[in-house]
Amino acid sequence: MSNTPTLAAIERPASGQTPYSAWMQTDTLHSLQRTVSDHPGEHAWIVHVQVSELYWMLIIKEIQSAQAFLRADDLPQAWRTLQRVVAHHAPLDAIWRSIDWMTPNDLLAILSRAVATHGKDTALQGWTYRQMVYLLGIKQAEHLQHFEPQPHRWEQLNKALAEPSLYDDVLAFLRRRGLGVPAELLARDLAAPYTPRKEVEEVWRQIYADPNANIELQQLGETLADIAEGFCNWKFRHLMATRRTFGARPAYFGTEGVAWLVPTMDEIPFPELWSARTFIGDPPPACPHMARQGK
């Protein structure tokens, strides 16, 4: 007897559902927006955050796939996967428009009830966001203590903290390509904050030295730059939304919200990829910046 399902079995949806609803789990999806206040904008707030969560998880999965391709020395597939990460940042940026209308009165009416119901917290201390940040190479062990009430997530994040980031896999790939990434850099404690190295800066400078050479590696560099820029753009939008709805109030764990967020703007992934640009290309002799430096 054949185990191949019949056409009728393939076409038959789950009981009480259409094929689309069964596949997309729409009944479950639309039961997840559980409001705690009477404010008419709370549903928009919840959808905004939940959509962000879904895209962060999507980015996590894409980065993990790209890491696997890099470890297999499959640069074309790694690059293709990372281009999707760039694309996923576009809707993350766009959905801010759905809550741009919020004033302090609006948001505080919602959050006062949320805090009374669930306690005070922020998406930047959610496990999905934190795992994405670790994969982008921003390793900060102090955030783990926030997840002690969630032992499974604490274990998951502790593992991500100790494992190679996307940038670590990029640097390991470049070293296998014969470029001068120091071996001890790859053998360091991966859970510690990353310290930029002049040797890595020089590797990126060499990759870009001739605009007509190393095209695939330059494409990789530009895609990483796009990812870092998309990540930082989201953080800037979050910072400005906090300014707009909180002002200088204490927000995050007793710290004034803006003061807590501003330092995160300096947490830019793939640091030598950016610092090397100071040394890429030859500025023209008449460049006014060069003239001022010569005074």
Q: What is the pLDDT along the chain (295 residues), one digit of tens a residue?
A: 455 555 444 556 567 889 999 999 999 999 999 999 999 999 999 999 999 999 999 999 999 999 999 999 999 999 999 999 999 999 999 999 999 999 999 988 988 888 787 777 676 778 999 999 999 999 999 888 888 889 999 999 999 999 999 999 999 999 999 999 999 999 999 999 999 999 999 999 999 999 999 999 999 999 999 999 999 999 999 999 989 988 887 766 566 778 888 888 999 999 999 999 999 988 777 666 665 554 4
- Contact, 155 vs 144, CB < 8 A? no
Dihedral of alpha carbons 162, 164, 166, 168, sign:
positive
Provide the pLDDT for residue 7.
46
Provide the pLDDT for residue 246.
83
Q: Name the helix (H) or strand (E) containing 250.
A: strand 250-252
Integer Cα distance of 126 and 116 in angstroms = 19
Tokens representing 51 are 């959509």
User: Domains of the chain by range and CATH?
Assistant: 40-166+226-261 (1.20.58.480)
Question: Residue written as tokens 């962000």?
Answer: 52
Provide the pLDDT for residue 3.
57
Dihedral of alpha carbons 282, 266, 55, 82, sign:
positive
Here the contacts of 243-248 (C-beta below 8 Å, separation 24 or greater) are 244/102, 244/103, 245/102, 245/103, 245/104, 245/106, 245/107, 245/108, 246/104, 246/107, 247/104
Provide the pLDDT for residue 14.
60
Provide the pLDDT for residue 162.
97
Provide the pLDDT for residue 103.
94
The three-state secondary structure class of 256 is strand
Tokens representing 116 are 């009374």
Phi first, then psi, for residue 6 (nearest 5°) are -75, 160
Provide the pLDDT for residue 113.
87
Tokens representing 34 are 């559980």
C-alpha triplet 99, 125, 262: angle, nearest 5°: 70
Q: Name the helix (H) or strand (E) containing 46.
A: helix 42-71
Residue 70: closest CA among 208, 182, 165, 201? 165
